Every structure is written in C-alpha cells, then in structure tokens.
Amino acid sequence: MTRSLRTSRIVVLGAGLAGLTVALRLAPRPVLLVSPEPLGQGASSAWAQGGVAAALGAGDSAALHVADTLRAGAGLSDAGIAALVAERAGAHIRALADLGVPFDRDSGGGFALSREAAHSAARVARVLGDQAGAAIIAALVAAVRRAPHLEIAEGLVADQLVVSEGAVCGVQLSGLRGGPVAVMTPAVVLAAGGAAGLFACTTNPRRICGQGIGLAARAGAHVADAEFVQFHPTALACTLDPAPLLTEALRGEGAVLINRDGHRFMADLHPDAELAPRDVVARAIHAQTTAGLAPALDTRAAIGGHLLTRFPAVSEACRRAGIDPVRQPIPVMAAAHYHMGGVATDARGRSSLPGLWVVGEAACTGLHGANRLASNSLAEALVLAAAAADDLAHLPSPAPAPRLDFVAEPRPSCPDAAGLVALRRCMTDHVGLLRDADGLTQAGRLLHRLSHSAVTQGFRNSLAAAHLITVAAQRRCESRGSHFRTDFPQADPAQAHRRMLTLAEVAPHLTEKEDRPCCQIC
C-alpha cells in the first residue's frame, strides 16, 4: 500500500545542472530536491567535459551563436529558443564564476574559450581543459547544501507521477524506509536526465536510461523529436561501461582522426574535417570501425605531453585503459551521448500536463533540433532552468513548509537487470547510429516482448522511452541530423518539422498504472 502525504514544497526530481539550478533559484520558496544518488554523483552534467557555449569572445555575438545552432539543428531548431539561450548564456557563466567555478582564463583575465565542432568561433567556456561539468556541479552542490529553503532527499527514486483531472498533483517516491510514498505537491519539476543509457555503448552514467521521459510519457505528457539521439564520435574504444569521453576540445586544439594506416580520413569527407558536425564525424568513425580500420584520435603533434595536465579526465581514462596518449593514438568509437528529444516544453519549462515543468536533457525545448551544437546542452540547462524557476515563482506562496525527513533504505537487487541488458542491446543493434525499417520493426517486437515481462516501474519507464524513440525513428522516413536511415539516406524538405508523440499512440499498455515500487537501479 502506497502512503500519501501533502506538502507545500515544490518537488524537484533530479540533481544535475538543471535540477540544482531550479532548486537554488526558487529561494526562498520551500523545495524538496530528490536525487537517486548522493548530490554530485550520477548526473550526466557532472561528466560534461567541453564546457558551456556562449558568445563571450571578441568578434563573436549572440546572433552568430544562434546561426550556428540553427545550422547544426538541420532545419528543426526553434529560432526563438535559440535566441533566448544565446542571449542569456553569458550572464549565467558569469554568475557561476561569481559562485566560485574556476573557469579557465586567458592572459588578460577573460574567459579562455575553446572552439568545438560546427561553431564558427571559439565560444566554449571550460574548466581545467575537461573539468567543466564536475566543477560547476561541485559549486552548485555546495550552494545547495547551504540553502535553508531546500530539503534534500538522497537515495530516492521517482517512479510514477500522480495525475488528477489531467493535471500533475504529486509524485510517487520509492526507496524509502516504510515503502513508497505519494507526495502531493503544488508543482513537480522533472530534471531527471536523458536517454543515452538505453544504448549498450554510451558515455552517460548507466542509470540515465530514459526514466524521466518515460515517467512523464506514462502520465500522458507529449514527447517531441524522440528519434534524435546524438552519438559522440570520440568515445574511448575499450571495454569500460560507460565508455570514457574524449572531449571535442582535443580536436578543437588540433588533434586529428586517423585510421590504422595513418590516413586522416575526415579531411576527405568534410571541409571542416575533424570539426565537422558530430553526426558526420560519428558516421565516419562508425564506417572506419566496421571496415576494420581501427579509427583513433591522434593528439601527439597538436597537444603532446600537455594533455596529461590540461585534460586530466582524458588522461585518467587513457591510464585506466592502458593507453599512453603522449606516445600513441587513442582508439575511438561512436557512443550514444545525448538525447535531443524529450518531454515537449515551452520557453518557461511547462509541459503539456499542468503542474509538470521539465528542464535539462529530459526536456525538448526545440533548441537542438535534429543535432545538438556542441556545449549548447549546459547553456540550455542553465537558461531554461532559470526560466522555469521564474515561472514557478508566480505560484501562490505557501506558509512555511515542515520538513518531510525522508529516510532512504539500502537498494535491493534489480529484478529487471537482465531485461535492461536486453533492452540496451536491442537499442544498439536496431535503433543506433544507422537505422532502417527492418531493424526498427524488429526493435518494436523486442520492446513489446520486454514490456510484458517488466517487474518494476523504473524499467517500465525506460521501456516507454525506448518505444517512443523507436516509433519516432520509424515514422521519420528520411535522414536528418543525428537520425540516419540507410533506406532513406537523403533529407526530405517536406519532413523539415518537429513531431510530437504520446505514449498512448505508441505503447498504450505501458500507460497502465502499477503499484510495484521501482528497483532504484534500472
């Protein structure tokens, strides 16, 4: 039996960049911040290496940033959202610097900016080369722990939204001593991350596998552009899971992609070579891999021994894999990295369900379109999370809210662990970097079979996200941005528009309510 309690606190689900930003900006309004992991752990944004994109350099402008964003989005980006993010991102970077984030500086004290793929200028603010995400999250976590308006519930998982008369009015939390609790609240902010962990080869924390999108979709929320999953071209090719990321800043500083014959293959394929759009580079890496040509990132001439100190995350990943990047090229592969699709929201973070705001990678604002411009994700998380918090500030102010004092229990073993392995393999084999009708149809059958053996809410949420991605990919009979159909290899101008789905259209059996608690792992 699920207990129920009522609170005047706004409930924020997720403690990555977007969730922490919303929670802090809502002060002094009482907030319950729910995180399945200890703060600072398990969030994709903490793993972000490149940094935050903003027009901070001489000769750059928000208009140029918008133009690059729209070009990368392959005709599907929302120009209004792109302008909002480009115009406000710089102020958020400065605010983070004031909070203590040690952004790299140039000799004049300005931000040291990197150029990444598909940017026309250097505009990525970074920290210690590849430590931006970790440094930003550390500063925000410290601020959150000091904030008196916040109650933090670590080790808990949201597994189902409570909906009444078409509006979200609460959320069921699992992992508590005494069993699951339905927390009735004035508003829920979903900041639960993306869906790249649905794939067997990913750069994301393994537990980030579409649960947030599935949670909202199962409650009836509209999902936009679900087919667009970005594969990062330079994950370290090794047996580690998740696969370590090799930041695009390495290529921005002159590192080149070569194959086992020493041939620099990107120079043959695109005028921007290694700094071509990510989808182009990822498919080139994939082609070299399937041809047995062992693609690798060669940092020796451009960066040399400086890599060990200027890019500590990359250096450590190479050490763990037994690679010396100063003396040898680093083997690479394409890996699922970021989901451009998600719960459809407006510029205030509002979803199609009253009472539910969605921010961060779980949301689809229209910024990224068919292909995310490098380092725009952190900029979007900051700007749109702040906008959502400002919108929530207009809700009636409550009286002081008592603490809920939730206590988490140790995590049980996951009864759906084998199912999750099968799901990730299915998505990689049939809904990955290259897609076709036969593979997508096969994926649909496998997902349907898995859904009927699911035990936990968490796994059902992941399956819901996988169904949405697969059906959206089936319906987009063209190739655009990160979505590539080998049976429809050209872009179709008639399909240059965003698409919405609901789970009721795709997998109505997954919208059924369940009483089983989530295992907290899948």
* 425 domain residue, yes or no: no
- Token output for 496: 């240059």
Q: Are 184 and 168 in contact (CB under 8 A)?
A: no
In angstroms, rounded to a whole number, what is the distance separating the alpha carbons of residues 193 and 188? 15
- The catalytic residue among 9, 29, 126, 278 is 278
Q: Is the pLDDT of residue 521 over 80?
A: no
* 197 domain residue, yes or no: no
- Token output for 134: 């970790």
* 327 domain residue, yes or no: yes
Helix then strand count (H, E) for the chain reads 14, 20
In angstroms, rounded to a whole number, what is the distance separating the alpha carbons of residues 107 and 235? 32
Q: Is the pLDDT of residue 84 over 50?
A: yes
* 328 domain residue, yes or no: yes
Q: Are 295 and 331 in contact (CB under 8 A)?
A: yes
Amino acid at 488: F
In the chain, the number of structural domains is: 1
pLDDT value at residue 512:
55
129: left (phi over 0), alpha (psi -120 to 50) or beta: left
In angstroms, rounded to a whole number, what is the distance separating the alpha carbons of residues 91 and 407? 38
Nearest Cα neighbor of 484 from 281, 221, 264, 342 is 281
List b or e across 444-462, with b for residues whose CB sees 16 or more CB atoms inside 10 angstroms. Answer: bebbeebbeebbbbbbbbb
pLDDT value at residue 413:
75
Query: Which phi and psi (to 5°) does residue 333 adopt?
Result: -150, 160
Percent of the chain with pLDDT over 90: 85
Name the residue range of residue 241's domain: 230-337
In angstroms, rounded to a whole number, what is the distance separating the alpha carbons of residues 186 and 392? 10
* 292 domain residue, yes or no: yes
In this structure, of 8-12, 109-113, 289-293, 399-403, the range with the lowest mean pLDDT score is 399-403
- Token output for 74: 């392959």
DSSP strands (E only) in 46-117: 52-53, 113-114
State the pLDDT confidence band at 522, using cuts at 50, 70 and 90. very low
Q: What is the pLDDT of residues 177-194, one digit of tens each?
A: 888 999 999 999 999 999
Q: Is 177 a catalytic residue?
A: no
Q: What is the pLDDT of residues 330-342, one digit of tens each?
A: 999 999 999 999 9
CATH number, domain of 279, equals: 3.90.700.10
In this structure, of 53-67, 178-192, 284-298, 405-419, the range with the lowest mean pLDDT score is 405-419
Assign 3-class secondary structure to 33-50. Answer: EEECCCCCCCCHHHHCCC
Query: What is the rounded end-to-end Cα distance, in angstroms, of the chain?
Result: 22
Report the chain's mean pLDDT, rounded to a whole number: 93
In this structure, of 68-82, 247-261, 409-423, the range with the lowest mean pLDDT score is 409-423
pLDDT value at residue 518:
42
Percent of the chain with pLDDT over 70: 98
The answer for residues whose C-beta is within 8 angstroms of residue 289's C-beta and 6 or more apart is 237, 295, 333, 334
Query: Which phi and psi (to 5°) does residue 450 adopt?
Result: -65, -35
Q: Is the pLDDT of residue 516 over 50?
A: no
CA dihedral 389→392→397→401, nearest 10 degrees, is -70
In this structure, of 22-26, 377-381, 399-403, the range with the lowest mean pLDDT score is 399-403
* 235 domain residue, yes or no: yes
* 294 domain residue, yes or no: yes
What integer is the mean pLDDT of 107-114? 93
Nearest Cα neighbor of 252 from 430, 384, 393, 374 is 374
3-state SS, residue 243 = coil
* 326 domain residue, yes or no: yes
What integer is the mean pLDDT of 421-449? 97
